Structure 1
């Protein structure tokens, strides 16, 4: 979080006077208030002021009550802003009428009633400690939204809560009961009746990195007549596609933005990203890679959908040991046999006692330095090559597949000068790289919302890529050799301690699988609302009413609801809106939002979807000369990345609206040109050691501050909300918010399409 209450909000005066009264006279004089008397205190000072020096005032109950009082003031202030942003009744009467408001007086009266409901929710939290999803859902949703997305998330949640409040009396009891029945998702395996007609056998391959589990699963796929590979990355889909085509096996490549279908074969294999798994194809064998990602709250639904819906006689799941209890339980529920294959690591792995000391002097041939942004990767490359005089290859998620393959080949070849590799966490997903030592540039990453420490499974998966059982050259020659040991370390001493602790820690079993309602449910649910009801409200209502079993959790609705808001002014069918809410987009970029609206308008009006007819697409940047100044260079890169994402969005839509977006070949050409421009720019970046050191320190401080602030709102252990979200039983679900980083170096962005 950038600050405790976001960057724009200033608390009302009464929110500040309360904690002042709690401070003793001695404490007040000892702490100089950071603002003149009678003026609002800046949010960044509130956390400091709210830590009373008197030990008697540190009791958890007292502290949390005080925090909730401040949070109530913030929520009330934010709600006033929400009402202003939604427009008065006269300005937006068509939408207000859809919520049953027929005048400005009605709007003001309902806003007043909602404020009373809001106050009651906070009173329950402060006086009776009712803060759970079941006991106090309004408070629970607001607090979780604020913790995850600060004031922006709180405002969004307040808007959805107010819309839900307005609709409370709009439906008769029979319709409300129908809504609840449609939102009953306790048995998602019933969504795939054709699959349930097949008696499948589930083979679960589990083990640490470099244990051969994926290798054995792919062997089963190769020996089948027809089959599917579904992985988390476009790069992995390309790698498997190349593997099959090299063996003269007809194979289709299917990702969100690219489809290559064999033209000279009647049957073929499929290699795809997990979201694109063809559920209507009957095959002999299906391989679903990285099954542990079924627990993620942004993409976990895709693994659940592929696992429950793929029509294969044999389904091979590859992943971590902690996925076993969940998969066995789900198999028992659907009556399918589950065979667990456990593997041990084929070569030893050690965690170093020493870091690199913040420099490149101790680099050795075969080292891979892992960073978490595309800019960071290329800056590392520049620093390594300048200090060592040797070449450094680069690998990251958004790199074109052909470029990635050539870079990997250069690094894997022991007979050239490419001694080192700068890579993203995409290497943890099974790319074929002969790494001897993995070096974490940092133990922290930006997850699209905030800086956070790497999780234990992430560290183990990335670090586990160090060392190989046999090199590619040895495999080709059939040479038997002693396993090459792997080593893991960090760039700085401060991060090495986190890495060492992670390898001594065993993460617990995965508790739940992600779910997201399929379009068929959304369309049926939407049909029971008045015309012109915003789809964002319908999705919010569906989220609130959802009932799921204790082995599932509801995935993120927030991005879909935001996209629905962005395109609500266009005359799209519900089916079209269900497509658009899944479009790959960075909603922090105004240019991408404008492009999305232009694309939505094109579909609504069945207009001309030729790429060059969209004047707002910044194609001029392709002719621009790379500037010299640092701020100008940053803006230049932002323009290129924005254009790249817009073209990706166009390609994604072109496969879903082939008669509208017809410039697919041109879009691929423009995409290649943009990628070349980005690569050219990144290769000219410099590595400034002191700036990079300061950057890493800033990441650590930001992550520590976020952890402190979460403890501030959730209690000392910071686990309250997380425990509630994963609790057993059935009930209404909130959604966790997580957007991909706008620097597409890691797996989240790469796989979203």
Structure 2
């Protein structure tokens, strides 16, 4: 086999040498990362050397073990060149893309993320031999994404005005945007969470305004109105409907690697005469640049917080008796929320309301009303970080149960943005109840800042308090770029220039590698989407069908989920077998089982119930996109209600919150997060912390659960609480 040089994109001609001192320091620092990369590459090679997997490499031009070995040698040289360039100070995305991709993969997904990126990068390297010069040139032309605004020609023909409402929490920015929407004859609201879409839907319904609600798993369309408002999650924002006003909430999430493409798509494509964007100050420069590029007028409205906010000097010292009336304790999983509720009521002898995204809308509204009413005995609230995205609650003090989160891969500290958004819900200026007593508008926040109430922020554990104080004293770096995702028509054309047996995951990463973008845009492909693409690769589906399934609300790491996904892909490919009762991978028999069937083991019981819930959620998602195949939508909704009832019943009766156990768990997770931060800084320097925040998320939570809701548990260690139901809070 003829030898082949490393790809040109990994070399920079005339790279200047940095001073020997800094270079030697970088070389020593990157030795750790280089060793880590080589170790993971060895594992990838071992996997690919098996005969079964080598059969799948034929699409990459690998026909023998010798051919694979030759490619391994060449790629090792490519890795070494990329590392050498980084040691000289060149770690730029455009001039050293391999190092840049590997570093970001490690920051985002630790060793697992690094291994995945190495595997895909090696695949990309191998297939170059099969691409002629003409094919490579055509691919580069298709991957020219410098002008994504041209993907929406009908919108570009409109003269739009963009109103950007920015300010801290409790500043009235969303209120003003929603007022504009309320005053219009037609409009769209696009938000980050299903619960916010439900909130806006309920408000417009209450005002007698016809409104539809459209999320990935549920659609409620008015049957007796041709013209109606639409409240939706941002991914579902309609781009073919001309309206007067569109509101896009939490616009700073345009910089989120996983979901930012949806905000960019909505901003570039929504066909509204007025587009109102709500978000943080750090989005201003980027949005102004985008508006200038697309020729839309941009008006920035800045707001100040309407009530004062103060971080406290003392925590609750892990004693729930130190809670005060009006306190909201924030936790990040449903198991913790229900356990906290029970513990608070046992410790204080007073009632505690509970609010989180997965609750049925009616229950959530009822619980919020109980907490907001000063004339009853619901003195406390436990809530998820969903409160950080706009729920109207009369909170006097926010108490963080913890300042660490499990993001699906690693334990990390809350970002500055998350801490500020969640903590900023304390001291609400005017709540929905107070506004309703005024002019009857649930959206009114009042006019006189003198009415503002002091808000306080603290933690349950004293060791967490300093992290909260630092967050409120820190600034947040401006967003540098918005994320985009290649549209289906480009992917279809791109696939014509690749062998038919090449995996979709490779094609997506090949596009990411070749993509030419302006400084205001970035192309990213979610690791979860890549895993989904690989899971369904063997089924004969169209590009549109593959892309649809790639965006499905599913976590393949859940037991049984890969088999269900593949069963659905098979149904879609054959156009049969999609009735809910025909899918043996959906364990409907779970509906008849009780805790006794699991020998009283709450962990196993709840895991199986939650697995059924996720399976039904996926089925509903598929039924809206492929209704002729997945035909049991009504039955699926009925099953979902039954499953939710089983989960809520168990959480209400069988979980606990042991303050001693959780104090130890917080300590363990705090150390894990700190260890990871130090490891990244040891390898990449002080910039690693900023980089980690930049690639984490741009708003509260990952929201990668079905419906962008909080998880049942964040990680397996929380299941340990489930069998302590009778032990109380101490």
TM over 0.5: yes
Question: C-alpha distance in 1, partners of 2:286/2:345?
Answer: 46
Preserved CA contact (<8 Å) 2:334 2:711: no
Q: How far off is 1:359 after superposition? A: 1.1
In the other structure, the counterpart of 1:579 is: 548
Match of 2:535 among 543, 561, 566: 566
2:574 to 605, 611, 617: 605
Cα 1:542–1:351 change in 2 (3 A) is: same
- 1:106 equivalent to 2:106? Answer no
**Contact (CA 8 Å) 1:622, 1:674: kept in 2 or not?**
yes
Taking the aligned partners of 1:749 and 1:380, their CA distance within structure 2 comes to: 16
Q: Is the 8 A contact 1:372 1:745 kept in 2?
A: no
| Residue 257 (structure 1) shift | 0.2
Aligned to 1:588: 557
- Larger deviation, residues 240-249 vs 636-645: 636-645
Aligned to 1:553: 522
Please give the alpha-carbon distance, in whole angstroms, between the structure 2 residues aligned to 1:171 and 1:358. Answer: 62
Q: Give the match for residue 466 of structure 2.
A: 497
Which residue does 1:292 correspond to in 2? 252
Q: C-alpha distance in 2, partners of 1:611/1:138?
A: 44
Q: How does 1:249-268 map to 2 (within 5 A)?
A: 249-268=209-228
> Which of 649, 661, 671 lines up with 1:701 in the alignment?
671
Q: Given that residues 374 and 743 in structure 1 are in contact (C-alpha distance below 8 angstroms), is that contact kept between their aligned partners in structure 2?
A: no
The 1:630/1:63 distance shift into structure 2, 3 A limit, reads: farther
Alpha-carbon distance between aligned partners in 1 of 2:291 and 2:26, rounded to the nearest angstrom: 42
Per the alignment, residue 631 of structure 2 pairs with 662
The question of whether the paired residues in 2 share the 8 Å contact of 1:228 and 1:286 is answered with yes
Equivalent residue for 1:644? Answer: 613
Structure 1 gaps of 5+ residues are 1-58, 727-733
Deviation at 1:438, TM superposition (A): 1.0
1:328 to 288, 310, 320: 288
Shift of 1:482: 3.3
Q: Check if 1:207 corresponds to 2:176.
A: no
Shift in alpha-carbon separation, 1:713–1:117, aligned structure 2, 3 A: same
- How many correspondences in the alignment? 681
Q: How far is 1:565 from its partner?
A: 0.8
Larger deviation: 594-603 or 524-533?
524-533
After superposition, what is the alpha-carbon deviation per residue over 1:211-233, rounded to whole angstroms, capped at 9, x for unaligned? 21111111111111110011111
Displacement after TM superposition at 1:611 (Å): 0.8
1:673-684 equivalences in 2 (<5 Å): 673-683=642-652, 684=654
2:598–2:605 CA contact under 8 A, matched in 1: no
Counterpart residue number, 2:128:
168
557-566 or 281-290, larger mean C-alpha shift: 557-566
C-alpha change, 1:636 and 1:119, in structure 2 (3 Å) is: same
Question: Counterparts of 1:205-354 in structure 2 under 5 Å?
Answer: 205-354=165-314
Superposed displacement of residue 686, structure 1:
1.4
User: Which residue number corresponds to residue 623 of structure 1?
Assistant: 592
Q: 1:176 to 1:74 in 2, by over 3 A?
A: same
Q: Which moved more, 1:148-157 or 1:694-703?
A: 148-157
Q: 1:514 aligns with which of 472, 483, 486?
A: 483
Counterpart contact for 1:255–1:273, Cα < 8 Å: yes
Distance in 2 between the 1:102 and 1:202 partners?
Answer: 55
Distance 1:628 1:279, change over 3 A: same
TM-score by length of 2: 0.88
Q: Which deviates further from its counterpart, 299-308 or 519-528?
A: 519-528
Report the Cα distance in structure 2 between the residues aligned to 1:400 and 1:277, rounded to whole angstroms.
Answer: 23
Task: Work out which of the residue numbers 368, 379, 382 in structure 1 matches 2:328.
Answer: 368
* CA positional deviation for 1:648: 0.8
**Secondary structure, counterpart of 2:537 in structure 1:** coil
Q: Cα offset for 1:654? A: 0.5
Q: TM-score, normalised by structure 1?
A: 0.85
Task: Give the distance between the partners of 1:680 and 1:384, measured in 2 at CA.
Answer: 19
User: Could you tell me how far 1:447 is from its partner in structure 2?
Assistant: 2.0
| Runs of 5+ unmatched residues, structure 2 | 1-20, 440-445, 713-730
Residue 710 of structure 1 is matched in structure 2 by: 680
C-alpha displacement of 1:88: 4.2
Other-structure match for 2:4: none
Among 659, 671, 681, the alignment partner of 1:689 is: 659
Alpha-carbon offset, residue 237 of structure 1: 0.5
Q: 2:416 aligns with which of 437, 442, 456?
A: 456
Q: 2:430 aligns with which of 470, 488, 496?
A: 470
1:178 to 132, 135, 138: 138
Shift of 1:158: 2.0
Q: How far has the Cα of 1:375 moved from its partner?
A: 1.5
In structure 2, relative to structure 1, the CA distance for the partners of 1:161 and 1:739 (3 Å cut) is: farther
* Alpha-carbon distance between aligned partners in 2 of 1:424 and 1:118, rounded to the nearest angstrom: 43
Q: 1:81 and 2:33 equivalent?
A: no
Give the corresponding residue for 1:96: 57
- In 1, Cα distance between equivalents of 2:207 and 2:321: 43
Tell me the C-alpha RMSD between the 2 structures.
2.7
In 2, Cα distance between equivalents of 1:483 and 1:65: 55
Q: CA deviation at 1:417?
A: 2.2
